[in-house]
Structure formats: C-alpha cells, structure tokens
Amino acid sequence: MELNVTNSPFNEQQSELLNRLLPTLNGHQRVWLGGYLAAQSAAAGVQAPAAQTGSAPSPESAAPLAQAAPAKPKEATVLFGSQTGNGSGLAKKLAKRLEELQVKTEVLSMSDFKPANLKKIENLLIVVSTHGEGDPPDNAIAFHEFLYSKRAPKLEQLQYSVLALGDTSYEFFCQTGKDFDSRLAELGASRLADRVDCDVDFDESAGEWMKTVAEALSAAPAAAASAADAAAPLSADPDSEYSRSNPFRAEVLENLNLNGRGSARETRHLELSLEGSGLRYEPGDSLGVYPENHPRLVDEIIAEMNWNPDEIVPTGKNASAALREALHRYYEITVLTKPLLEQAAKLTGSEALTKLVAPESADELRAYVGEHDLLDLIRDYGLQGRTAAEVTGILRKIPARLYSIASSPNATPDEVHLTVRAVRYANRGRDRYGVCSVQMAERLEPGEHLPVFVQHNPNFKLPANPDTPIIMIGPGTGVAPFRSFIAEREETGANGKSWLFYGDQHFSTDFLYQTEWQRWLKDGALTKMDVAFSRDTDQKVYVQHRMLEKSQELYEWIDGGAAVYVCGDEKQMAHDVHATLETIIAQGGGLSPEQASEYLLRMQQEKRYQRDVY
Amino acid sequence: MTQQTEWKKYPPHDRPHSDVEDIKRRSEYLRGSLVETLRDPITGSIPEDDNRLMKHHGSYMQDDRDLRNERAKSKLEPAYQFMLRVRASGGVVTPEQWLMMDRISHKYGNETIRLTTRQSFQLHGVLKWNLKNTIKEVNDALLSTLAACGDVNRNVMCNPNPYQSEIHTEVYAWADKISRHLDPRTRAYHEIWLDEEKIVDSRDNEEQEPIYGPVYLPRKFKIGIAVPPSNDVDVFSQDLGLIAIVDEKGRLAGFNVTVGGGMGMSHGDNKTYPQLGKLIGFVTPEQSIDLAEKIVTIQRDYGDRAVRKHARFKYTIDDRGLDWLVTELHERLGWELQPAREFGFDHNGDRYGWVKGSNGKWHLTLFIQNGRIADFEDYPLMTGLREIAKVHDGDFRLTANQNLIIGNVSSQKKRKVDALIKQYNLTDGAHYSALRRSSMACVALPTCGLAMAESERYLPGLIDKIEPMLEEAGLRGKEIVIRMTGCPNGCARPMLAEIAFIGKGPGKYNMYLGGAHDGSRLNKLYKENIGEEEILSSLQPIVNRYAKERLDGEHFGDFAVRAAYVEAVHDGRRFHA
C-alpha cells in the first residue's frame, strides 16, 4: 500500500519517507519495527503531545528515522557526580553505547565540566548519586551550586535526562538527582527521557534508563543486541569475568580482631584471596561484599510468621529458592526502607502504617526506619498471616556492602585486605548488628568464602606524581585506604612526604595497625603521624584538634601542593575536618572564610582534596 | 675516643665499658631524651636508652606479658606500662601518704599497690601519658621516686621494730639521713617531672653530682639496717649492712658494719653468685654517714664497668680482697672502724598481731600475702586499709617481708582500728600456716620483663599443696622461710630462704634448701629445673624426716644441712660448688 495524507495520519514528507523505507524491509525487520513502535508508545506516555508540537524529538515521533542520514552527527555530553566509582562507571557505559550509535559523546566528571559550556550543548545526560542528608557528592558540589545560583543561564536549547543513584533506606533518597532534574526544567531545558531513581541494586533500572536514552538519541533504533546487555556488568575489569552482578567467591585467608582486650570496639582485619579472579584494584578502590543475614533473625522471622522454611519463593526474575535460604542470602531483612513500608501498608491495609508513611509523619518514619528491622515491622504492624510470597515480594535484594580497601595490590599481590568494624547494639531487648560486619566477626573462618567484586573509585586516588606530598585524615576504620596508600608508596618507592592523622577511643586498645605505622614511620615510608584518642583524657580530643595544633605546618604542606584525603564517618568527622581545613587555610593564607572555602573547592576540582566518606 | 678517655679514670682500663656506661655518660645527668620520648604519641614505650635512665627516676618500662602474643597478632604494640617505685626510707609513711598511694593506684595504676621487699611501694600499669601526673602527685605528698631504681643507692631499709620504739625512732632517723645524703643531686628529675625550669647549669661535674659523678655507680647499691634480734631486712644481703648495737642502758651505741652482700646471679653463669655481707667492724651513729659515703665512692671508683653482671660491690670485694677494702676505706675515712661488737639474730620474718611499744602506743602487723594490696574477692584488703588510713593518726610501716604495720596507734584509736579490722575482715594471718606467713614471692609475670616463670601468682597455690604435708607431719605451726622468684636476680631474696624456688622456665624451678632461719647462711641447689609434681615429691620425705628427726628448736634449713640434703654455704663463692 502506498501511503498518502488521506489514507494515513502522516503528512506528505512522512508518507514519502515511509514509502521509500517500507518496501526495503524484510519480514524480520517489519516484526521488529512493529514491536519497537508499540513499546516506545507505552514508555513515552504523556510526552507524546509535546513532541508533536515542539522541536524536541520524542521517541514516539519519527524524527530518529528522519535523521537517518544527518549532515551533522548528534552530540551528547554525559556528566557524572558520585563519591564512589558507580557514577563514572555508568556514565562511561552509556557513552560507549551512544558512540556505537554514532552519537559523538563526551564523558566528564561534573567537577571537570565548565558550566559556561551549558549554553553550547544540546544533549545533556546526568548520572549523579546522593550523599548523607540529601547532599551532592564532592565532585558535584560546584556544578550543583552553579545551577542554583543567579549565574545559571536559560537552557531552552537543552535536552536532558537524569539517572539518580541512591539508597531507599535513606530519607532523602536520590535527592541530588531530583534537584538536577527539576532545576534543569526550571531553566527551560526539556526532558529527553524521564528521570530514573535507582536503589542500591541499580543494574537493572540503570540499564532501562540507558536503553531509553540511547533510543531517544540514536540515529537509528537501538539494536536488539544492545538492549540485551543493558544489565551487563558495570565497570568490569577488562580482564575479569567477575563483577557486581557476578561476584567472585574470595577465600578468607585471615580474619582477626585489631582491637586489644578490653576495648569497646571490635574491628576485623580480613585478608581475602583474589587469586585466579583476574580482579584488579588500585589504592583508593573499594571492595563490594555480599553478606548473609544472621540465621537467628531468619529463624525468628519464620517462626513469627509461622511459615514453612522449605517453601519455594522467587528470588529475582527467573530464580527461586527455599524460603529459609532466600531470607538468609537473598533478601534484605535488617534495613527498612520507605518503599517497603509503603508496600507493607498496601499489603496489610494497616491504618497506622499508612499514617506512618504519609508525608506529614516524616520524623516518625525516619525514627522508625532508623532503629527497626523486618521482625519489628512484622510485629508492630501485624504482618502475621501474610504468605511468604507476599512478604518476600515487597523485600529488596540484599545490597552489597562497600569497604575501602586496606591493602596495596603491589605490596600484597592477589590479596585484598579490609578493615571492618563490627556494629552491635541492642534495641527493644534484641541484639542488633551490622549484617556484614557481624557476619565477618562471628561467622567467617579462614578457608571460607565471600562473594566480592571490585568497586573502582576514581575519586580517591593517590596523586599521579609520586613526589606529591599527601595528607591523610582517617580516624577509626577510615584509616583503611591509607594503609593501602602507604603500602603502595613504599612498594613503588614513591618519594613524596606523607602525614597521617588518626584517632579512635583509646590508645592502648584501639590504635588500628599500630605496629605497621610504627614501622613505616621508622623506615620513612610515612613521614609524620598525629593521633587523637578521645577517651584517654578528660577532654575529648579528635583528629581536627590535632590538625589545628599543627595548623601552620599543615598549611605549609597544602600551600606547597600536598593532596588532602579524608576517609571515614561523614556526619561528624568529615564535616568537622572540612571546617578545620577551611580554618587552617584561612589562617595560613590570610584569607576570608569565603576565600578559604573557594580555595578548598578549587582543591576539590583539582583532585587535591578527595574524600571517601560514609 | 677523646671524650671516652675522660671517663676512663674508672676501671677496667683494658676492656670497653658497657653500653649503659655510655648511656649514662651521654645523658647529662639522667636527662637523655626523656622529655621528647615521653611525649611521642605513637608509642606507649620509650627507647631502651631512655629506659635505662628512667630507672634512676624510679620507674621502668614493662609490658603485660600475658597479652604480648595476642596483641602482636592484632598488630598492636605490647601493652607497655610503667612500674613506678615510690620510696620512703625505712618504709614509714603517714596516713595521708597512704591515701595518696591508694588514690593514684586507682587513678593511674592497676588498682593495686605492691609492697616491696625493700620497704617501698610499687605501682604497676601506669601508662606513659600518666607518668608525669603520677610522679607529681607522689612528690606533692612529700614522697619520691628518685633513685628508687638505677645505678645509685636505693631505698635505705630499716627494721620497723615495733617493740623498741625509741631505738626504732633513732635508727630510722639515721636511715633517713644516710638516704638523703646519698640522694642524687641532679635537677633532671625536677625538670622532667615537676616542671622545674631548666636552668643552664654552670656547676662542674663534682658540684652537680658530688658523690656519684657523671656516670653514677657501676650498678645498683643497697643499704639496710637491722635491729637484733630481728634480721628482717636480711642485713647480709645488703651491699652495706648496718646492725644496730644497743648499749647496756638501752641506747643506740652504733652499728656493726657488713659489706658485700647481694643476691643476684644468672642461670648457667657460675661466675655470678649470691653473697653474704662480711662483718668488718663497728661505727658510731654519727660516723655512719661518712662511712656510707666512702663505701659508695669506693664502689664508684673500683666497681666493674665493663660487665654489668659482675659489677655489684660483692664482686669488687671478692676480686680484690676484704683487706684491700678495709685499707682503702680507712684511707678514705681518715679514721678506723672499731672492732665489731657482739650481736645475735634469731629470725628474719615478721611478728604478727598487736603489740604495745615501749612508748605506750600500739602496733598491728598485718600479714599481706606477697605484699599485694588489692581488693580481692571476699577480702576487701585495700578498702579496709583505706578506711583505717582515714581515721588513723599514727603511721604505716612497710616491713622488709612485704607486710604492713599499722603503727603508733593510740589507745583511744585502737578500738576504732580494731572495729575496722573486723568490719573488713583484715587479718594478721594467725589462721594461716606458719609456712605461709613466712613466705615471700617477687612480682614476676605478667609485668616483670625478667621473669622466666610465675612467682606471685603461683606461690600461694603451691603453698596450698605443701600445707597438708606439713599438717600431716604436725608442722603447721613451724615457721619455715619459703621464698620464690621468677628469675635469679633475687628480688625476694630467695638465696637466703630455708626453702627456695627460682624460676628457670614456664612451670620449672630450681629448688634450693638450707638457708638459715636468721638469714645468716645461703642455701644451695637441691634439684634443678623441676615442676610442681617433683617439687612436692621431693619435699615430702624431707618434711617427714624433719618432723621425726629434728633436734630441739632446730630450724628446717639447719636440718637440711645436718641431714646432708645440701652442704652449708657460708661464702657465695661456694654456692655453685
């Protein structure tokens, strides 16, 4: 059939194009196109009318087809902002995919992007994570600030889409992604595809987002093959088959307590074998570990629900397992999230629970989510009587825990070391614990195995120049990556000076890796070390106090080009250390507080101030 | 080399002096780098060189050896801590000073106090960061740690005899004078611990340390004064021993003088041995200070500075002969000692319970097992003594056997003290066997770095097993001096005991027999390197024979010699023979 304006919804130009195209298609191509158009219509939804009037091409329009042979190739800019390597990994993956579709793509960290260029680009794709109380990650701070400032330009020429990374167990889930999404719209830009918010287990939803974006941007419909690898491993080592979605079972070589007798702390030092995995890491990278739930909690839940532990329940798309096994290894049962509570409210119809997840109960919700687990939820809101399939259907997959790697691959080849503090407390008469840390402390013997993957972190790296001095601030388990740094610098014979600030509760029992620091100080691999033990003296002393005591000397190091690294607790420590660095820079450089703040921001952009905080 | 020659005025001239001599010489009168190393925040330890100097300040570094291996595994340095020795000449302190010791032991130490065999206090477990505050509080209470250890004269011991109060008071006063006279004069102690400003010291060597000079003594030096008939201070174990001689009117006439006693030896080195002091004459009380000074300077000038194991005064005398010593001494004194006077000892242990002194005041001797003051399960000893100290208006006296005398209690206060004794269940040890009351052990594990075997933590348990043996033989009330140390340095003076055990290795001891009950004869090796089972099986037949065959009033040590279990040793040079 020859199409024309009367027998079809197409205009003359469209009819002509279709008439030229359709006769060339073979049977397979026709079937594919039919399905493709149907899927696109379903996905794009409300954007359809806008697409018909506006200049922005929508997936539903035939624009991509019209541009099958454009004079000028499409261009896109992918910006990422993330504390760990997830953001940059996803950004690079997207770029690779777009390049395959002939879209000329540039990938940049937000801190490397000049905001003035915003006016010059047409397609912007953002991958950004959220930190702490809804804050942007370090390398996104400046760009975020710029967009919200008066200097932000009108961006009517811009099409964009945001992939937000987050964790539903946090109150301000994906807040930074939401910020970028709404702000760009306010500035007049239009959405190329709707924002997608990802929970910790992001592979699948990120894959979907990429697929949508790629199709929206591509000159030709995305090939079916590309869709298939949407969930393919992210940031995988080129020479390893193992990744987040296919973790390596690493043998435990050593598992010991770093705290001395009488300490209130228990910090495990784990040595794992990566032999044969092909996994590679650099100092500053993290290791993802998939934990197992405590069998006691699993049994308590099963008993409370009166379930059959052998009942087969689904675990993911095409998998299933016995209930006990599923709760032990697959589902998260120790951390509550808002989506879980919302779905539980729907499931039970509980008025109290519905009230708890309502917007006006934010404070109560935060308190409840922060201190309770699935067993509490079951008991408090009457989930008893629900089937195992119903309840597991609303649980999320147990997320991997990320730990800053404490070893140097050059100093200890084929091994990876972790420094993990066991989290234990009691609430409502039951012992509570960190899932992964307590598994390591209580149920992990040398010879056993842990599923792990390497999480690259390009935002926490030793200076490229081995002569650059480094200042490391890492109290508690925050010291882990610095053990890696110093071991690496010793092994590679780097000449740069180094200065470590460390702190914990008690000198006698909590000085993690004490004998190693002492040896490194003696050998010169570590130049200086200052320590703060908060419970040994009448007044609590923390690392920032020691930094202030050495203010002048620290400023001289910084002014002389030293790189500053902070690792550890975000809420208190990283914040106080940041403020202390501002003070030191202001004093040392004779700067105003604002200037000192800018100085630090510049350092951040120059990657001379890097943080791995959690 | 030139700077070394300056100190080559001391012998030996043909061999290099020990490293400690060099450390002392470079230390600028015991300063070393202590100020800096005490401040080093990365380690709870100080370098060995500074630790050598620390001893002169009354402290040395130890670590909890029970934790050594597990801490090493945890990548933690050893649990470094400092032993702090607080001295009071003659072991007499006020109730306020007692309360201070109690307080700082809780605040900075391991919540116990150790009474030592030299009438001093020891605190254990003081962390480096707390040393300064601890020492400051000690000094604020008018006690000191200076020269409690190190190559100087140590705490001057003195019998705290509660029977003859006037004599004791007088003898004690001389002990104190001798002690003060021999105190180091360096200001280092005050600068480092008491914040005294460092002033450029323009005084030359003789002025800074007129008796000791810049390298101090070759080795530690010990002085003790006994008041017969008690030889509680083991006067024959002292480098310089004084034996109080009372005239026919009951007044202090002066002192007999013994020289060259000493306990320490090394396993497997027969050139080292314990030795008994030798009697060389008599001096008047006024002459005693001059005597002590000249004896000390002789040892300073002639002691062996090359080999520390051979540096004690006993070797100086044995190598050169007693005649040489007396000649040299007379030359330095410019006068001659009188012939020794008659005296007699009958025991070297303590007498427990209440006694009334000749001044009308009461004295209560408490049995303190191994000198450890602590709150034990079911025995709140430390709390009880603290409560007594709060109401007590007399003094506390530390005995040479690690026991404690609540001294000079007025008749009015006696009832109150008695009530507290009952309330806290404190004991004079009357319900213990005489063996236990005559027992003494050094600290050893876990804190002492020299210990090869347990001592304080083991002897009470061993006595539990010996007691039934004595009970059966009908010897429960028989005083037998039994002592144990974890190494052969001899802190509990084991070489003078009737039965002694000296640690060789974990759970293994050398067993010695034949010391005299009054401390006038050395014992001798009976069995080498034996464990508990063999200790008990070796003792059993001897105890049984002693029960049956002993002469009237014959002591266990004397019997062991008569029954030929061991030879009598009157001269240390025969100890290994």
How much is the ipTM here? 0.88
Cross-chain residue pair B127–A507, CB shorter than 8 Å: yes
Lowest-confidence pick of A277-281, A554-558, B372-376, B423-427: B423-427
Average pLDDT over residues B496-519: 97
- The answer to whether residue B231 scores a pLDDT higher than 50 is yes
- The answer to whether residue A236 scores a pLDDT higher than 80 is no
Cross-chain residue pair A521–B75, CB shorter than 8 Å: no
Cross-chain residue pair A508–B127, CB shorter than 8 Å: yes
Four-residue CA torsion sign, B410, B413, B418, B423: negative
Cross-chain residue pair A530–B41, CB shorter than 8 Å: yes
- The answer to whether residue A11 scores a pLDDT higher than 50 is yes
Residue among A258, A259, A518 minimizing CB distance to B42: A518
Query: Quick one: pLDDT band at residue A38, thresholds 50, 70, 90?
Result: low
Residue among A515, A530, A531 minimizing CB distance to B76: A515
Distance in angstroms (rounded) separating the CA atoms of residues B533 and B507: 10
Contact map slice: A 268-287 vs B, CB within 8 A: 269
| Closest residue by Cα to residue A178 from A142, A130, A146, A138 | A130
Nearest CA in chain B to A518: B42
* Start-end of H helices in A187-311: 203-217, 224-228, 295-305
The minimum CA-CA distance between A491 and chain B, rounded to whole Å, is: 20
Contact map slice: A 507-566 vs B, CB within 8 A: 507-509, 511-518, 521, 529-531, 536
Question: What's chain B's Rg over C-alpha atoms?
Answer: 23
CATH topology of domain A75-229: Rossmann fold (3.40.50)
Query: Quick one: pLDDT band at residue A64, thresholds 50, 70, 90?
Result: very low
CB contact at 8 A, B223 and B153: yes
Distance in angstroms (rounded) separating the CA atoms of residues B290 and B292: 5
Query: Quick one: pLDDT band at residue A60, thresholds 50, 70, 90?
Result: very low
The single-letter code of the amino acid at A210 is M
| Closest residue by Cα to residue B481 from B165, B237, B280, B223 | B237
The minimum CA-CA distance between B106 and chain A, rounded to whole Å, is: 15
* CATH number of the structural domain A470-613: 3.40.50.80
Query: A150 — contact with chain B (CB < 8 Å)?
Result: no
Distance in angstroms (rounded) separating the CA atoms of residues B489 and A212: 84
- pLDDT at position A27: 67
Residues of B recognised as catalytic: 85, 154, 220, 222, 442, 448, 487, 491
Please check whether the two domains, A75-229 and A295-392, share a CATH topology: no
The minimum CA-CA distance between B45 and chain A, rounded to whole Å, is: 11
* CATH number of the structural domain A248-291+400-455: 2.40.30.10
Residue among A258, A518, A531 minimizing CB distance to B74: A258
Query: Quick one: pLDDT band at residue A538, thresholds 50, 70, 90?
Result: confident
The minimum CA-CA distance between B129 and chain A, rounded to whole Å, is: 9
- pLDDT at position A399: 93
Average pLDDT over residues A579-602: 96
The overall average pLDDT reported for chain B is 94
What would the pLDDT profile of A416-463 be if each residue is shown by its tens digit? 999 999 999 999 989 899 999 999 999 999 999 999 999 999 899 999
Residue among B43, B67, B74 minimizing CB distance to A259: B74
What would the pLDDT profile of B114-124 be if each residue is shown by its tens digit? 999 999 999 99
Out of 3.40.47.10, 1.10.760.10, 3.10.450.750, 1.20.990.10, select the CATH number for domain A295-392: 1.20.990.10
Cross-chain residue pair B74–A530, CB shorter than 8 Å: no
Mutate one of A263, A271, A515, A536 to test the B interface: name it (highest B CB count within 10 A): A515
- pLDDT at position B206: 62
Query: Quick one: pLDDT band at residue A71, thresholds 50, 70, 90?
Result: very low
- pLDDT at position A372: 94
Provide DSSP, B118-144. TS-EEEEEE-GGGHHHHHHHHHHTT-B
Checking DSSP bridges between strand A104-109 and strand A75-81, what pairing results, if any? parallel
- The answer to whether residue A289 scores a pLDDT higher than 60 is yes
Query: Quick one: pLDDT band at residue A125, thresholds 50, 70, 90?
Result: very high
CB contact at 8 A, A531 and A511: yes
Cβ neighbours for A81, distance < 8 A, ≥ 6 positions apart: A87, A109, A110, A111, A126, A127, A128, A129, A136, A137, A139, A140, A143, A144, A176
List Cα–Cα distances, B436 to A38, A39, B440, B480, B508, in angstroms: 99, 95, 8, 9, 21
The overall average pLDDT reported for chain A is 88
**Percentage above 70 pLDDT, chain B:** 97
Contacts of A517 in chain B (CB under 8 A): 42
Question: In this complex, how many residue pairs, one in chain A and one in chain B, have their CB atoms less than 8 Å apart?
Answer: 47
- C-beta contacts of B268-275 below 8 A and 24+ residues apart: B269/B309, B270/B576, B271/B309, B271/B310, B272/B309, B272/B310, B273/B572, B273/B573, B273/B575, B273/B576, B274/B237, B274/B490, B274/B495, B274/B496, B274/B522, B274/B572, B274/B575, B275/B314, B275/B318, B275/B522, B275/B571, B275/B572, B275/B573
- pLDDT at position B490: 95
- The answer to whether residue B8 scores a pLDDT higher than 90 is no
Cross-chain residue pair B76–A530, CB shorter than 8 Å: no
- pLDDT at position A228: 37
Four-residue CA torsion sign, A481, A484, A489, A492: negative
Distance in angstroms (rounded) separating the CA atoms of residues B572 and B314: 9
CB contact at 8 A, A81 and A143: yes
Cross-chain residue pair A257–B77, CB shorter than 8 Å: no
Contact map slice: A 251-270 vs B, CB within 8 A: 256-261, 269
What would the pLDDT profile of B129-188 be if each residue is shown by its tens digit? 999 999 999 999 999 999 999 999 999 999 887 677 788 889 999 999 999 999 999 999
Mutate one of B40, B75, B131 to test the A interface: name it (highest A CB count within 10 A): B75
- pLDDT at position B7: 53
**A233 DSSP assignment:** P
Distance in angstroms (rounded) separating the CA atoms of residues B165 and B473: 38
- Cα three-residue angle A262-A265-A269, rounded to 5 degrees: 110
What would the pLDDT profile of B14-61 be if each residue is shown by its tens digit? 999 999 999 999 999 999 999 999 999 999 999 999 999 999 999 999
Query: Quick one: pLDDT band at residue A547, thresholds 50, 70, 90?
Result: very high
- For A362, other C-beta atoms within 10 Å of its C-beta total 13
Q: What's the number of CA atoms in the CB half-sphere (13 Å) around residue A162? A: 23
- The answer to whether residue A227 scores a pLDDT higher than 50 is no
Angle between helix B287-302 and helix B313-320 axes, rounded to 10 deg:
80
* Per-domain boundaries in chain A: 75-229, 248-291+400-455, 295-392, 470-613
- pLDDT at position A41: 58
